Each structure stands twice: as structure tokens, then as C-alpha cells.
Chains A and B, each alone.
Chain A
Amino acid sequence: MTEPVLKLEGLKKYFESTAGGAFSKRKVVVRAVDGVDLEILPGQTVGLVGESGCGKTTVGRTILKLYEPTGGKIIFQGQDITHLSRKRMKPLRSQMQMIFQDPFASLNPRQTVGALIGATFDIQGITPEGGVMKEVQRLMERVGLNPEHYNRYPHEFSGGQRQRIGVARAIALKPKLIVADEPVSALDVSIQAQVVNLLDDLQQEFNMAYLFVAHDLSVVQHISDRVVVMYLGKVMEEADKTDLFASPRHPYTKALLSAVPVPDPIKGRARERIMLQGDLPSPANPPAGCVFHTRCWKVQDKCRTEVPELLQISTRHRTACHFPEPA
């Protein structure tokens, strides 16, 4: 069996905030990520989906240790990195990179594209063959940017092009894992496909693993090999893509899938829709028992008191529900 690039064991990240205004002494603990298990194999794409506030972004950031984990383990290429210091993390960072959601906020407006992409080499103290400039231009060409634009500033590029800069920066050191946090959601429809295809091609070329964090299930369905569905800091369901989309077993996954609008009017009219009532509860005060029970249409007494475990339900398919849907 191949060893996973990344393994999470019961990862937890709690944030403390003050209740009742900035000056209040009353502390609340927000359980953004509350015991997440996850495995990513080399060259694999795992899609991490859920509604805003479910903790998917926090998972991505904690993996890269942009947040210090509260509990659990992060194992990267067999090495436990959960509590590594910043200094000892640094050499590992060339192996794990991130692509951010907002291509406008994630690029320093005062640096040229050349400097932005080249910085990765300086930080790691690596001199690529033929020099930094040549390598950066090669990268620019690879992601579909004109290498002659080496000295341009981010504002001279469109949203899609900026995201390509972000991609070039992430792949510069040929990492083993890229955490892509909503990499296409800020882009226009016709540009999204270009970037999705680029990510696909690069993965094949460099055999990188992706953790693809997104709320858009259509994109996740397209790009992922495996999909993890999160709700309120917990994993609700995890399965191979085809399995998950063809036969979701957790009521939340089922509702989520049925809510995705389909660009096909006749199919859309005929589709059975499960309308979830209400909003996501606050992660500062999650419901007892199953966290989803307040919105679940199948809720029973057991759900209100007992937390369902994430259990194997069929081959490579796990779900956390007392009363899973039939396959």
C-alpha cells in the first residue's frame, strides 16, 4: 500500500473568542475543526466540501500550520509535524504549498510577478538551474502567462491571470501537496474552466496531491478522486467521488447534492429536492448529539443525544449517521 502524503488523525482546532463584546471577560470556545480524520495519497485530489462556517478552510490552514492545532495529529510524508516549530517547518514548506481564494488579496501589489514567484526560491535558499529569472519565466509560460510580463505588477492582470500567478508560485518548488482553498470561486465562469484544466494538467505532470477546499460541488465533483463532506467542524461522510455523488449515505450530503442547481431546465424541474430548514448552528454552541440533527429531516431521539461515529458503511465509504440512507 502506498503511504499517504498527508494523514490527519482527529485534528482539532478551537478558537477562543469573547462573548458579549470585545471587552467582555466571558470566553467562548469556537470548535472550528473538531476531530477530523483524513488521508491523501500521492497524486490524489481530495475535495473538502461544506457550507461556510463548517471549518473546511481552517482544516486547510491548520495542515500547513498557519494555525497551531489544538489537538490531534498531522502526519506529512510519515513525519509527525503537529508540533514542529516554525523553524523546523520551513524546509518542509517547499513540499507543501497553498493556493488562496482571492487572487486580489493574496498577491503583494508592490511586487512584480517575477519577484512574487521568485521569492519562493529565495526563501528556501534554492538556486534553480539557469537562474531564478529563467526558471520563473519557464513557470510563467507553463501556467499560461506571457513570460515577457515578468516585470509587471499584479494590478496589470485579470483575475484569472492572477490566479495563474498564484498557481505558478505554488508549484515553483514542485511540492508533494497543494492545499487549494476555493481556487476558482472568485473567477468568472468562462475562466474557471481554464484554471481547473490547468490544475488537472499540472497534477498529472508533477504527481502532486491536492486538497481542494471548495463549496461548489460541481467543481469538486469534477476535480476530485475522493470527497470529504464537513459540517460544523466534523466529517459527515467520506467516499470515492463516484460513490459519493451516485449514492450519498448521509442525509446532509444528500440534501447538499439535491440543492446544487443543475444547468438543465427539464432535469431541474423533475428533480426531487430536499429543502433543509434553517441555518447552520453556531460552532461556538454546537447542538448535542449529532451536530446535524437540528436541520435533518430524518431526525430521531437517538440523534439528539448520541454523537454518531464516522463508520465504514461500504468499501472506502464512511459516514457519521445513526440512520444512513440506503445505498
Chain B
Amino acid sequence: MKPFLEVKNLSVSFPTEDGLVRASDGISFTVSRGETLAVVGESGSGKSVTSLAVMGLHNRKSTNISGEAILNLPTGPVDTISAPSEVVRKLRGKSMAMIFQDPMSALHPYYTIGNQMGEAWGLYNEGSKADGIKRAVELLDLVGIPDAAKRVKEYPHQFSGGMRQRVMIAMALMNNPSLLIADEPTTALDVTIQSQILQLLRDMQKEFNMAVILITHDLGVVAEVADRVCVMYAGKIVEQSNIDDVYYQPDHPYTIGLLNSIPRVDRLGDHRLQAIPGQPPSLISLPPGCSFRPRCAHARLVPNNRCATDVPNLDEKLPAHFSRCHLTESQLVQVRTPTGGLI
């Protein structure tokens, strides 16, 4: 069976006064139903831009988008990049839905929760508004909002942060989407609420057999929920593999660096954090060659200064494990073991 979403060579750039911002560059990945793909990266790495392109939410006039994002619907494949806006619009909510980071700004403050959720339902269903609100109550109940029948009449400001995020999730599920994109869904929440929401996402995925793309910068969250991972840096995927490989045999110096730089509650001790020096490059003037080279401690291992001249390809160095680095697998093992490699 074909994966539900196939993103092929997707690039998004924004022309600005200062020059062209290459926000995401040649992104390819797939997600099947029932599977969770985590897209990890820092701010400006292109993870949100990519997902907004899949959803068809960029302004087509002011954004250059190329490549494909194919949804394999029962009625046949649709490319959300090239399909007319009207067609993509009809897919949003029903075939694909998105949860945003900040539920306060994503919910309309003037309308009751029931009103907003009912509207989403009304787009694709025949029936009265009362039917829509009935469905809203069902879903609010499912996502664990106590007293849903009463709370459906309340406004967003009457909900706490965690409850609002539940409302967002319920709203995204109104029309049983096949693909759910969750953009930093727990970043604004406290850890105890975060673990509730992550559990909820896992349950809902099972219940609706959704393909889920989870966008986050938190490697802890990824470890808890993802099946596969794409690590992004400066607009490109630098590493892509199943979840365990990324953590136990990371194959890109950036991934290795990230894993070494985060403090961890599960490891006591006063070891010094190994920070990645420098900062991410400007997307307007990327360095030639590998974008990570200026911060990479291992570029000197590559002969002929290739890291500074040739952009590395995303190669399958280990089975089903891709990495965009000039280092050979045996060199990477060396880079990994002294500090990385974990455990």
C-alpha cells in the first residue's frame, strides 16, 4: 500500500528585500496511516514552512514553492502543491488537519468553542448546527474535557492552556482527517500537561488510524511518540531514519551534537554540556557546501576541504537510515563513540 502522504523534493522560498530566503530545500519524506513522523529542528530550520506548504497555507503569490506533496486519497492522488486552491481548500479539515503551537491565537476569541467546532463540521456534513455541536461535545468528551456539554458553550479564554490544546485537537478531529500535522503542540505547556497531551495524541492516532507529522524541537518528546524521524538543519533534511537509529547510532554530526548538548534528567552528574559552537546560518546567504560545516567539529576529517565546496547528498549509509554528510560510515562511528552513541 502506498503511504498516505508523499512529499517529493519540496522547496519553499520567500523573496524579500534582502534576498531570497530558502526556507526549505528539496524535502522528501512519506508518512503512512497509523505512523508518526517527527520533524525535528531549531527555529528557522524549515520544519513549519514545509508543513504549511503541505497544507497549502502559504500565499501562493508571494511564495515560491516547487516539488510535490501527494495525498493518496481513496479517490486518487492529489498534489496539494499544484492542485487549484479550491481543491486544496476542500481537503483541509477533512483529509488533512493541523494543530498549531499556540492555541490561544489559533482559536477565535469571539466565538464559543461549540460554534467554532460546529463550523468545521458544517463544511463537510449535511445537517443542522445542533448536529455539529453534538459532534463537538462527543469529541471534547473524547479528548478528556470534563463536563463537555456545558463547556462547549464557553469561550476560549475560559479554558486553561492545556484544555485549549485539547480543544484544538478535538477541532482538528471533527471530520476524521487521515493526516494530522501537529506543529509544536506541547511547547507552550507544562510537563505534566504535556504528557497528558502526548498520550492523547497517541490514543487519537490509534482511534482514527491517522498519519501524524509531529513538528518539534524537543528530542525528548520525539523519543516518546515518533516511529520515524527527519532532522532538519538550515532548510534541508540532514538525517532521516527510524526512531531508535537516530538516538542510538546518529549518523550526522548535527544530530550527534544536539544529543550531546541537551541536559537530561535521566543522567545525573556534573558533566559539562557539549555545546555546538556558533549559530545557525542565515537562510539568505547559506555557506557554500554543507550548511553545517561552520559549526561542525569533524569537517577536517574530510579530505580536500569538500565540506566547504560540495553540498553532501542525503545518502543511505545504513539500511533505511539516510544522512547528509561527507564523512564515511567508519568515520562517523568514530565521531559517535567517544561522546555520543549514548548509553
Does the CB pair A191–B191 fall under 8 Å? no
The listed residue (A221, A222, A275) touching B196 by CB distance below 8 A is A275
Which of B87-95, B205-213, B274-282 interfaces with chain A? Answer: B274-282
Cα(A267)–Cα(B342), bound, Å: 12
Cα(A264)–Cα(B343), bound, Å: 9
- A29 interfacial by beta-carbon distance below 8 Å: no
Chain B: interface residue count, which band? 35 or more
Helix, strand, loop or mixed for chain A's interface? helix
Does the CB pair B223–A261 fall under 8 Å? yes
Residues in B whose Cβ lies below 8 Å from that of A301: none
CB within 8 Å for A51 and B223 given contacts A217-B265, A218-B264, A264-B247: no
Does the CB pair B266–A267 fall under 8 Å? yes
Besides A189-B262, A218-B262, 8 other CB < 8 A contacts? Answer: A188-B43, A190-B275, A190-B280, A221-B265, A223-B263, A255-B192, A260-B191, A263-B222
- A193 interfacial by beta-carbon distance below 8 Å: yes
Interface residue ranges of B194-224 to A (CB < 8 Å): 194-196, 198-199, 217-224
CB within 8 Å for A263 and B268 given contacts A194-B277, A197-B273, A255-B192: no
CB within 8 Å for A263 and B223 given contacts A52-B190, A189-B217, A219-B263: yes
Residues in A whose Cβ lies below 8 Å from that of B262: 189, 192-193, 218, 263
Interface residue ranges of A91-117 to B (CB < 8 Å): none
Inter-chain CB contacts under 8 Å: number:
132
Instruction: Please give the residue numbers on chain A whose beta carbons come within 8 Å of chain B beta carbons, in ascending order.
Output: 51-52, 158, 160-161, 188-194, 196-197, 200, 215, 217-219, 221-223, 241-242, 245-246, 255-257, 259-268, 273, 275-276, 279-280
Considering the complex of A and B, which 8 residue pairs feature the smallest CB-CB distances, nearest first? A261-B220, A222-B263, A193-B275, A193-B261, A51-B190, A188-B42, A263-B219, A193-B273
Residues in A whose Cβ lies below 8 Å from that of B277: 194
Cα(A28)–Cα(B167), bound, Å: 28
Does the CB pair B258–A218 fall under 8 Å? no
Residues in B whose Cβ lies below 8 Å from that of A265: 223-224, 243-244, 247
CB within 8 Å for A189 and B42 given contacts A263-B219, A263-B220: yes
- B257 interfacial by beta-carbon distance below 8 Å: yes
Q: List 18 A-B contacts (CB under 8 A).
A: A51-B191, A52-B161, A193-B263, A194-B275, A217-B265, A218-B220, A218-B264, A218-B265, A221-B263, A241-B268, A256-B191, A259-B194, A262-B266, A263-B247, A275-B199, A276-B192, A279-B163, A279-B193
Does the CB pair B264–A262 fall under 8 Å? yes
Cα(A61)–Cα(B207), bound, Å: 46
CB within 8 Å for A262 and B220 given contacts A190-B258, A218-B264: yes
Q: Quick one: closest A residue to B267, CB to CB?
A: A221
